[in-house]
Amino acid sequence: MNDTTVTLVGNVATALDFRDTPAGPVTRFRFAVTARRWDRERAVWTDGATSFYTVSAWRALGANLMASVSVGEPLVVHGRLKVREDERDGQRKTFVDVDALAVGHDLTRGTSAFRRTPRAEPRAPREGDLTENEEAPEAVPRLAPADGRDPWTEAAHQLVTAP
């Protein structure tokens, strides 16, 4: 697929809005990204224009955002860029959305404490679920391997204990 992925660094501009939709739970919020430039003449950092994006986070990512993020917090958002045009009040407007794939606190501006959430248990297929040949519109969280090992934890442990 030819999706355009972006990584944005900015601040949460609005309260997070959680909704349970037929496509699954989603959390949306506005995200403000302000360019900063070094002004050589005055020897100070200056703010440039601020761009606003609507960020959508589906399923577990959206639920974890609701539990972890508040207005004003600095984040790094990585996701698929969606640009759409609409006509409102007789004027053509452009909207820029990001379907988040990953979101985290910007640790250059503070600290954060990570807490792992419980893994989803496998369930029997239900009516409306995708078949093997269909592609999901958003990423679906991976389940743990059958032997119960967590490859991410193992990889991190190998990095820490490596000579």
pLDDT digits (tens, 9 = 90+) for 64-74: 999 999 999 99
Is the pLDDT confidence value at 149 over 80?
Answer: no
Helices (H), 46-87: 59-68
Q: Which amino acid, one-letter code, is at 66?
A: M
pLDDT of residue 2: 83
Per the CATH hierarchy, to which homologous superfamily does domain 5-161 belong?
Nucleic acid-binding proteins (2.40.50.140)
Rounded CA separation 94/78 (Å): 21
Work out the end-to-end distance of the chain between its first and last CA atoms, rounded to an integer number of angstroms. Answer: 40
Residue ranges covered by each domain of the chain = 5-161
Torsion of CA 80, 138, 120, 73, to 10 degrees: 30
Tokens of 76: 């790094």
Whether the model clears a pTM of 0.85, i.e. scores above it, the answer is no
Instruction: Report helix, strand or coil for 144.
Output: coil
Query: Predicted confidence band at 153 (pLDDT cuts at 50, 70, 90)?
Result: very low
